[in-house]
Amino acid sequence: MKRFIGQIRGTRAAFTLMEVNLAIFIMAVGVLAMTALYPLGFRESQQARDDVRAAIVADEVLGKLTAALSSRNIEWQDWRSAIENAVSKSNQGGAGNGWLSYFNQRGSDTFVIMNRPNANSHAQEVFNALASAANGATQKPTWNMDSKYAHGLVVQWGKRIIAGGPGVSTAQDDYSRVSISFRLARRSGALMTAPIYYTEVHFQGDQKDMEQ
């Protein structure tokens, strides 16, 4: 009996196979949970970089256009011709107005967004059409696009409300001011979900030749 008790006291404590497997399982769950966060973190980091990039490019594009179009040296006829041309470019594509011009029609009721080269080409056309108003400005704006991104640029002229009588009013095109909207995305398919950067420019030149 004493020998048996001594043998029990001489044994060392140890983990059972069940406890070891449970510990491994808990660690595996924790490691897998941490590993699953890496793609999400990478995606959010990439999105943050793209947002910063979009803001920088938008500031450059819209800033150049605003500075040039705000010049008092621009003649009214040059301004109006450029605005009409830019708006016409923004409305092309057969899919409607504004941002819908970045879609191509497939069939009778199916529309798909342009691929990146075509979207950039379209944005460049809109930019050049609008920049043509600044031929008489001190410096004509230029824009060098990064082909790794899809760019979108939309120009629309303003509207003013004309009262026609009690409770009656009509909207009339206002060519003296123009709104410019810009988007940028890494993939063309994400262009329509990218943030919109917007500015409005008013004609600052000699208004004596403006139509009333």
Q: What is the pLDDT of residue 17?
A: 75
Q: What is the pLDDT of residue 20?
A: 73
Q: What is the pLDDT of residue 122?
A: 92
Length of the chain: 212
76-85 exposure pattern, b = at least 16 Cβ within 10 A, e = fewer: bebbbebbeb
Q: Which residues of the chain have pLDDT under 70?
A: 1-15, 36-44, 92-96, 107, 135-139, 161-171, 208-212
Residue extents of the structural domains in the chain: 18-209
Q: What is the pLDDT of residue 111?
A: 79
Q: What is the pLDDT of residue 1?
A: 54
Q: What does pTM read for this prediction?
A: 0.72
Q: What is the pLDDT of residue 13?
A: 64
What's the angle, vertex CA 91, arms to CA 90 and CA 94, rounded to 5? 130
